[in-house]
Amino acid sequence: MLGALLPGKTVAAAQKTYTIGTDVTFAPFEFANQDNKYVGIDLDLIKAIAKEEGFKVEIKPLGFNAAVQALEARQIDGVIAGMSITPERKQKFLMSDPYYKSGVVMAVAKKSSIKSLKDLRGKRVAIKTGTDSADYANSIKQKYGFSTVTFDDSNNMYQDVTTGNSAACFEDQPVMQYGINNGMALKIVGKPAREGAYGFATSKNNQALMNKFNIGLKKLRANGQYDKIIERYLGNGSAKSQKAAAGNSQTTDRSFIGLLKANWSTLMGGLRETMVLTIVAIFFATLVGILVGLLGVIPNKLCQGTATTFIYIFRGLPLMVLALFIYTGVPSLIGSKVPAFIAGIVTLTLNEGAYTAAFVKGGIQAVDPGQMEAARSLGLPFGKAMRKVILPQGIKIMIPSFINQFIITLKDTSILSIIGLLELTQTGKIIIARNMEGFKIWTMVALIYLIIITLLTWLSNWVQKKVKA
């Protein structure tokens, strides 16, 4: 209690750091600004409370679903992501006092003739996975006779409506309002339903953090900081102030070049992460692939069985499933966190390693069996014969496959955006969440991938020529 009253004192004691998961694309509650800094109501709020209560926070923008799963797996300490307080969530987690009142609204394309839920009969509606809005939509879809399609982030959901693929979407009211303020060609129809409130979530055993949050929230409400934070992002209620608030975090030049300039350093940051992931993953996948591939050609049933099983499992599993399993499944099994970067590298190593092992094994087996017989007949042991005679010939056969695998690895890093790694694809998603410029930003991201892959291909061809000579 004393610590709460005198925050300066608690600073002196070692401050505890909590890892807080959040969504990536839930403006105005959380989104990355043009400097790629995460801002938004949720983040300002948790930071202000942390300051007030004398603890530190490390923000992890994981995406809503991944954040909730990470909390379940106790990879993180809390989630603040515009999370509606529901009975189900209260059963699973500790939920804080409400910090923002919201409701579910329906939005349709600007020119749409849909005026109410009744007009949705036979139509398709876009929802975002794991959200309260999605829950609401699913609960009434029988009654109003519409079908649903799910997306992982808000922007893709909005786009599906503006392009006309879906007739409407359901979204939390402040979020929808913010998106429209920022030029999303949608309009809100009807009244908010399921009026509820957002809360901060921790796992059941983290009462200490929950208490700090609730106490801090009360203080912010009392001293006016809370209102200031809301006003910063949503204005004081007038449409004009809302526009102004939106402009605070936006760049003005919306041309391709303008956007490229404004987001250049952010995109390059994403590219750097992609390259680091690619290089580290290629290194380990090649190592594992060669070892497992070699294991597969040793004349021993146990060795061959191990290699075959490894290849069968990790080549068979979709990369995304493997990533989620390692990042959110394994921690609950081993009882300790797996950092996203490590999870990403392990995922790529196992998957790309399995493909590499398959062609390493195949490459060795493609060498004329007479070569092994000749080497063995001279008295060379298996290992020496393999190293001196078979491998040098096998590697030549494998080189095109290696190059192919390197390019695939580079592309596959994009799948790791699912576990919140800030690589190029995730960076693109985040920029779009802020400025809603899907077409232009995805074009930039695609071009960057193509340029890098072209360079990698040139490099590979050059190496291949050197080796053949």
Partner 1 sequence: MSQYRVEMKNVHKSFGDNDVVKGVNLNVANNEVVVMIGASGAGKSTVLRMINGLETVTSGEILIDGEDIAHKGTDINKVREKIGMVFQHFNLFPNMSVMGNITLAPTELGIASKDEAVKQAKEMLEVVGLTDKADAMPAQLSGGQQQRVAIARALAMHPDIMLFDEPTSALDPEMVGDVLGVMRRLAKQGMTMVIVTHEMGFAKEVADRVVFFDNGTILEQGKPKDIFEHPKEERTKNFLNKVLNA
CB of 367 to partner 1, least distance (A): 10
Residue nearer to partner 1 on the CB measure, 227 or 373? 373
Segment lying near partner 1 (by CB under 8 A), choices 122-130, 204-212, 339-347, 372-380:
372-380
Segment lying near partner 1 (by CB under 8 A), choices 218-226, 377-385, 443-451, 456-464:
377-385
Residue nearer to partner 1 on the CB measure, 342 or 378? 378
Q: Does 464 bind partner 1 (CB under 8 A)?
A: no
Q: Does 373 bind partner 1 (CB under 8 A)?
A: yes
Q: Does 389 bind partner 1 (CB under 8 A)?
A: yes
Q: Does 58 bind partner 1 (CB under 8 A)?
A: no
Sign of CA dihedral 272, 151, 338, 41: positive
Q: Give the integer Cα–Cα distance in Å for 144 and 119.
A: 8
Segment lying near partner 1 (by CB under 8 A), choices 131-139, 240-248, 275-283, 371-379:
371-379
Segment lying near partner 1 (by CB under 8 A), choices 168-176, 197-205, 307-315, 363-371:
363-371
CB of 304 to partner 1, least distance (A): 18
Q: Does 381 bind partner 1 (CB under 8 A)?
A: yes
Residue nearer to partner 1 on the CB measure, 37 or 384? 384
Q: Report how many residues bind partner 1 under the rule CB under 8 A.
A: 18
CB of 371 to partner 1, least distance (A): 6
Residue nearer to partner 1 on the CB measure, 8 or 369? 369
Q: Does 375 bind partner 1 (CB under 8 A)?
A: yes
Which of 377, 465, 466, 468 binds partner 1 (CB under 8 A)? It is: 377
Q: Does 378 bind partner 1 (CB under 8 A)?
A: yes
Q: Does 397 bind partner 1 (CB under 8 A)?
A: no
Q: Does 371 bind partner 1 (CB under 8 A)?
A: yes
Residue nearer to partner 1 on the CB measure, 298 or 320? 298
Residues near partner 1, by CB under 8 A? 368, 370-371, 373-381, 384, 388-389, 392-393, 396
